[in-house]
Structure 1
Amino acid sequence: MTVPFPIRQECPPGACICDRDKLLEAPGGDIRILKLTRDEEKKLVARLENLSSLDDLRHMQDRMHALLGISLTVAPGPNEVRTVRGLQIEIANQPGLCNKTRQTIPAAIRRGLDRNPEIVFALLDSYDLLGGN
């Protein structure tokens, strides 16, 4: 299959289970995720590390879904949230999404939230966990 844009290089054999080749061979497969080359991933990580507000985080979630098909959820965990580690940051399983990327994106978001704790407070408040009346 030929694609009209540069795609991510193949992972070394045995290092990843992203099913990149199966995705390329499948007719009608959603290959948007393959647009995320290593350089583009670095840009995305830098952008996620510099989040400025909860609206900015939500905007990035929407953009990642629209452009790459990545479904990302950021929500309070089932237990008490004392630090950013108490948040659940999950990426839905998706063919073509590299394991490294699946770990890098949540880590970048955590770093961004560590730098800007107001976003965490706004997130918790949006779930009414701060008890604001």
Structure 2
Amino acid sequence: MPPPFPIRVECPPGACVCDRARLLADPQADLRALRLTRADELRLIERIERVRSYAELLRVQALINDQLGVLLRIAPGVNEVRTVRGIIVALDEQPGLCKKIRQSIPAAIRRTLDAHPQIIYEILDANDLFGSN
């Protein structure tokens, strides 16, 4: 039985590892990740790119977790942070989450961090990189 809400169009065979068919076959499965259609993904990316503060970024992170059931991790890398590339931005593996989404959302966050370096400083400070216990 199809879900009562629109879901993301299936990727071409072999192009993705989202395991969509198995997820749809399981009646107990969490289908929230499939609710992110291509149009919704574009709106989410636009929203991420409008973020201007760390508080807004945390809000978007919480919304992604609440509405899609996906954990978005944003933290300083283990090595020295000299650029935005030193910040780890990753979506945890989740059945139904398309490979394209796992790439596009972190890329949008990196673009936002590039445009607003003060957010990077707040991320570093929130993770106690500066040693302000």
TM-score range, shorter chain: over 0.9
Report the equivalent of 1:121.
121
Counting matched residue pairs gives 133
Is 1:26 the counterpart of 2:56? The answer is no
Instruction: Measure the CA separation in 2 of the matches of 1:88 and 1:53.
Output: 18
Return structure 1 stretches of 4+ with deviation > 3 angstroms. none
Q: Are 1:48 and 1:108, in contact at CA under 8 Å, matched by a contact in 2?
A: yes
Q: Which runs of 5+ in 2 are unaligned?
A: none
Q: Which runs of 5+ in 1 are unaligned?
A: none
Q: CA RMSD in A?
A: 1.1
**Aligned-pair distance for 1:31?**
0.2
SS of match in other structure, 1:89: strand
Report the equivalent of 1:111.
111
Alignment TM-score, normalising by the size of structure 1: 0.95
Q: Are 1:79 and 1:86, in contact at CA under 8 Å, matched by a contact in 2?
A: yes
Instruction: Measure the CA separation in 2 of the matches of 1:3 and 1:52.
Output: 35
**Aligned-pair distance for 1:131?**
4.1
Alignment TM-score, normalising by the size of structure 2: 0.95
SS of match in other structure, 2:105: helix
Is 1:4 the counterpart of 2:4? The answer is yes
**Aligned-pair distance for 1:73?**
0.6
Report the equivalent of 2:99.
99
